[in-house]
Amino acid sequence: MPQRKVRERSWVEIDLSAFRANLQALKRFLRPGQGFIQIVKADAYGHGAGEISRVAISEGAAALGVANLEEGKLLRIQGCKEIIIILSPSLPDEIPGILEYGLQPTLADPAFARKLDSMAAERGVSCQAQLKFDSGMHRSGALEEEFGELWNLCRKLKNVDVTGVFSHFAAGENDLDFSQRQERKFSSILKKYGIDLPFTHLANSAALVNGLGQSANYARLGILSYGVYTHPSQREKIALKPVMTFKSTVSQLKNLPKGAPVGYNLTWIAPRKTRCAIVPVGYADGYDFLLSNRGAVSLHGILCPVIGKVSMDMLCVDVSAVPEAKLGDEVILLGGSCDELRVEIISALYGGSPYELLCQVGRRAKRFYYESGRLVTSAPLARRDFVSSDFSDSKLNTIIQSAIAQRVESEELGELISREILRQFFYNKDREIHYRRNFVHHIRFAESGIEGYWRAFTTLSFDKILAGDFFIVACANSENTLKTYFKRRDVEYRWLMDDNFHLDSESFRLSSVRVNGCKLETAVHFQGGCMEIRCSHPDLKDFVGKEVSFHIDTETLYPKNSHQLSVFVTELTQGVKIGFSHPASLAGIECVTVFSGQNKYPRLIRSATSITVSTKAGEWVFPQSGVVFAY
Ligand SMILES: *Cc1c(COP(=O)(O)O)cnc(C)c1O
C-alpha cells in the first residue's frame, strides 16, 4: 500500500483489491451454477458496508446480508439498490422500516410472519422474505417439527413473497461430520415440501472452502472474503490477503532503565535498559485489553512487543530492536502483509475471536479505501454528533438536501429547495463562492433626440474576487438569448436591448470599464444573437484571486413605451444600492422592490428626479432580488 501523509492518530486502510482477489479465490469453490451472497453485517465486519458491497456486487454477488433493519437502511440511504437480506430475527417494531426500505427479513416465527403480512397489507405493498430452517445449530430458525407450519403459513400469505429458504452451519470450519448431517437435513426438508425457490443457501465462507453447502444454490461469504482464516487447514486450500490494516504512529519515545515498571498495576518490569514507544491507541480504539503484555506491533518491519497493560487510549511498545525509530513513524497494529499481525493470529494470543477483533477495530479511526494501490475514498470515523468537515462536498450536498427534506417533511420540496435555491450558492462551486460587495447600480434617463427612446446612462460598481484575466459584458435583444448568459460565471453585466434595435456598438456602448482603476481593453463580437464584449487587460492576471473594484459604464437607448425598468441582483451580494434618475417630466414613478435576504424592505429615497433603493452596507441580499420602476 502506498505511503501517505498521516494526519490521524490511528487509521484503518481497506484494500479493496485484496477483497476482490479473495472473492475471486472463493468463487472457485462454488459449484457450476452456484452464486454467492456477500455478508456485510456489522458494517462489513468493520470494513465499511457501502464500499465492500459495491465491490462484491461488481464481483457478482446476488444479494447482501445484514444483521438488522438499521444496517439495511443505511445501505439503502447510501444508494444500494440490490437485494438485502436481514439474517437475524427482526422485531415487530422493525416491520415498518423493513417495508419502507424494501429489505428481506428472515422468518422463523409464524406470529411475526402474520404481522409482516398484515402490516404490508395495510400499506398496500408486498414484502419479500426468506425462511430460516434450524438444521442443528439451535440458534435462530424454525426446528424441523416447526418448519412445516411455517412454510404452509408463509406460502399462503398474500402480502409476503417467500424468495428463499436457508440454514446455517454450526461448525463448518472444523466438524465435517456434523455439517454433513446438517446439510442432509436441509436437503430433505426442501425435498419434503417441494421447495423450489430462487434462493437456497447454507454454507458460510469456511464451509464453502470445505466443500459443504453444494446442494444449495448460493453460499454466504463472510470472514474469509475479508482475508481472515478461521481454521489452519484453510491455508492449504486458499490464499487470502488481509483486507484491513490498522495503523497508528509513534507519539512518544523514551529510555527506561533496567527495573522500571510500565503501565497500570506495574505488570511489566524492564529486564534491561529499554527503548519504549508510546502508541496512541488503546482498548477504546478496539485494541483488545487482553493483548496487554501479549500483543506486538510492527515498526520499520520489525515486530515489537506490547509491554504493560493496554490503557484506554495508549499502549507501550518495546522498540529496543529499532534504534532508528522516531516520532511520527508508522506503526502497524493489525493486518497488512506481516503474517504475525493477521487478525486470527493476534486474536489467538488471548483466546479471542477473529470476528470480534475485526468488528471492534478502529472505533476512533478514519477508514481509507485503496484500489490497485490508489486511494479511492475515505470515510470519517463514526461520531455521535455531526461534524460537517468530516465529509466531502458531494456528501455534504446529499446531507443538506436530506436534512431539508426531513425538516419540511417532503422529499420533493427538499430536492427543490436544495436544487433551486441553495445550489447556486455552493452546489457546483465547491467553496469558491464569489459574492459581490458594495453593489451600486445607477441608471439615468435623458432625452436622446431619437423619437420614442430615452438615452440611458448606466454606471455599475461592485467589489468582488477576480476569477480570471477577462470578463464579458453581454447585450442581447431577446430575453431567451440573454438567459444563457446568466448561467455563465465569466459574465459580469448583462443588458436586455429593445428588439427594435439592431445590436451594434452604437445602440449599446461600453463607455468605460475599469478594474481597480485600470482601464480595460474591450473587444466586441457577435455570438448567436448576442453582443459579447470581452473586457481584458494584461495587468488583470496580477489581480486574479484578489478582491477588486469593478466599474462598468454604458450608454444605450431605452424605449419610452416600455413603461418599466427593472434592475436585478444576480449574485449573492452584500450591500446594494440601486438608483434611477429621470427627467422631471417622468412624474409619479412607481417603485416595487422584491428583496430577499437579511432585509426584505430596503430603504427608499425619492426626489422629483430620482429614486434610490438601498440596504445597509453589510446586509446580505440574495440573487433575484431587485427593483421594478414603472413609469
Ligand atoms: C455472519 C454470517 C455468515 C458469514 O459467515 P462467515 O463465517 O463470516 O463466512 C453467513 N451466514 C449467516 C447467517 C451469518 O450470520
Q: Would you say the CB of residue 464 lies under 6 angstroms from ligand 1?
A: no
| pLDDT of 430 above 50 | no
Q: How far is the CA of 39 from the centre of ligand 1 (A)?
A: 6
Per residue in 53-65, pLDDT (tens digit) is 999 999 999 999 9
CATH 3.30.70.790 is held by the domain 30-237: no
Report the nearest atom of ligand 1 relative to the CA of 172. 7
- Smallest CA-to-CA distance from 172 within 133, 139, 213, 143 is with 213
Cα angle 517, 521, 525; round to 5: 140
| pLDDT of 351 above 70 | yes
Report the nearest atom of ligand 1 relative to the CA of 221. 9
pLDDT for 588 = 85
Are β-strands 160-166 and 199-201 bridged in parallel, bridged antiparallel, or unpaired?
parallel
Q: How far is the CA of 203 from the centre of ligand 1 (A)?
A: 8
- Beta carbons within 10 angstroms of residue 351's beta carbon: 7
Q: Tell the residue nearest (CA) to atom 10 of ligand 1.
A: 204
Rg (the chain; Cα; Å): 35
Q: How far is the CA of 169 from the centre of ligand 1 (A)?
A: 9
| pLDDT of 426 above 80 | no
Evaluate whether 158 touches 196 at the Cβ level (below 8 Å).
no
- Over residues 288-306, the mean pLDDT reads 98
- Over residues 291-299, the mean pLDDT reads 98
Q: Tell the residue nearest (CA) to atom 4 of ligand 1.
A: 222
Residue by residue, DSSP assigns 191-229 as HHTT---SEEE---HHHHHTT--TTSSEEEE-GGGGT--
Give the whole-number percent of the chain exceeding pLDDT 90.
Answer: 77
Q: How far is the CA of 171 from the centre of ligand 1 (A)?
A: 11
Evaluate whether 591 touches 455 at the Cβ level (below 8 Å).
no
Strands of the sheet containing 590-594, edge to edge, are 564-568, 626-630, 590-594
| pLDDT of 17 above 90 | yes
Q: Would you say the CB of residue 222 lies under 6 angstroms from ligand 1?
A: yes
Q: Would you say the CB of residue 206 lies under 6 angstroms from ligand 1?
A: yes
Per residue in 606-615, pLDDT (tens digit) is 999 999 999 9
pLDDT for 432 = 58
- Over residues 76-89, the mean pLDDT reads 95
| Dihedral angle computed from the Cα positions of residues 96, 99, 103 and 105, in that order, rounded to the nearest 10 degrees | 60
Higher pLDDT among residues 294 and 571, named by residue: 294
Q: How far is the CA of 548 from the centre of ligand 1 (A)?
A: 63
Q: Would you say the CB of residue 182 lies under 6 angstroms from ligand 1?
A: no
- Beta carbons within 10 angstroms of residue 363's beta carbon: 16
- Over residues 459-464, the mean pLDDT reads 96
For residue 567, give the C-alpha cell.
434592475
Report the C-alpha gap between 461 and 436 in whole angstroms: 10
Phi-psi region of 402 (alpha: psi -120 to 50; beta: other; left: phi over 0): alpha
Best mutation site among 29, 38, 39 for ligand 1, i.e. most ligand atoms within 8 A of its Cβ?
A: 39
- Smallest CA-to-CA distance from 201 within 348, 446, 35, 14 is with 35
Report the nearest atom of ligand 1 relative to the CA of 230. 7
At 494, which helix (H) or strand (E)?
A: strand 491-496
pLDDT for 423 = 67
DSSP lists the bridge partners of residue 371 as 374
| pLDDT of 420 above 80 | no
User: For domain 436-630, which CATH number applies: 1.10.510, 1.10.3470, 2.60.40, 3.30.2310?
Assistant: 2.60.40
Higher pLDDT among residues 8 and 164, named by residue: 164
Query: Catalytic residue positions?
Result: 41, 264
- Smallest CA-to-CA distance from 445 within 241, 250, 596, 585 is with 585
Q: What is the band of 461 on the pLDDT scale with cuts at 50, 70, 90?
A: very high
- Over residues 544-569, the mean pLDDT reads 92
Best mutation site among 71, 90, 130, 204 for ligand 1, i.e. most ligand atoms within 8 A of its Cβ?
A: 204
Evaluate whether 204 touches 222 at the Cβ level (below 8 Å).
yes
Evaluate whether 221 touches 26 at the Cβ level (below 8 Å).
yes
DSSP lists the bridge partners of residue 555 as 457, 509
Higher pLDDT among residues 190 and 380, named by residue: 190
Cα angle 446, 564, 622; round to 5: 110
Q: Quote the distance between the C-alpha of residue 334 and its chain's center.
A: 26
Report the nearest atom of ligand 1 relative to the CA of 45. 8
Cα angle 184, 190, 196; round to 5: 140
Specify the CATH number of the domain 245-379: 2.40.37.10
Q: Would you say the CB of residue 42 lies under 6 angstroms from ligand 1?
A: no
Report the C-alpha gap between 68 and 52 in whole angstroms: 17
For residue 86, give the C-alpha cell.
436481514
| pLDDT of 393 above 90 | no
Q: How far is the CA of 425 from the centre of ligand 1 (A)?
A: 47
Full-model pTM: 0.75
Q: Tell the residue nearest (CA) to atom 14 of ligand 1.
A: 87
Give the sign of the dihedral formed by CA 340, CA 346, CA 348, CA 349: positive
Report the C-alpha gap between 170 and 554 in whole angstroms: 84
Q: What is the band of 433 on the pLDDT scale with cuts at 50, 70, 90?
A: low
| pLDDT of 309 above 70 | yes
Q: Would you say the CB of residue 362 lies under 6 angstroms from ligand 1?
A: no
Output the average pLDDT for the chain.
Answer: 93
Per residue in 490-520, pLDDT (tens digit) is 899 999 888 877 888 888 999 999 999 999 9
| pLDDT of 1 above 50 | no
Higher pLDDT among residues 326 and 426, named by residue: 326
For residue 59, give the C-alpha cell.
464481483
Per residue in 192-244, pLDDT (tens digit) is 999 999 999 999 999 999 999 999 999 999 999 999 999 999 999 999 999 99
Per residue in 107-131, pLDDT (tens digit) is 999 999 999 999 999 999 999 999 9
- Over residues 268-286, the mean pLDDT reads 97
Residue 95 is given by DSSP the state H
Q: How far is the CA of 273 from the centre of ligand 1 (A)?
A: 48
Structural domain boundaries in the chain? 30-237, 245-379, 391-426, 436-630
| pLDDT of 93 above 90 | yes
Q: Would you say the CB of residue 223 lies under 6 angstroms from ligand 1?
A: yes
Report the C-alpha gap between 71 and 77 in whole angstroms: 10
- Beta carbons within 10 angstroms of residue 424's beta carbon: 18
Evaluate whether 497 touches 510 at the Cβ level (below 8 Å).
no
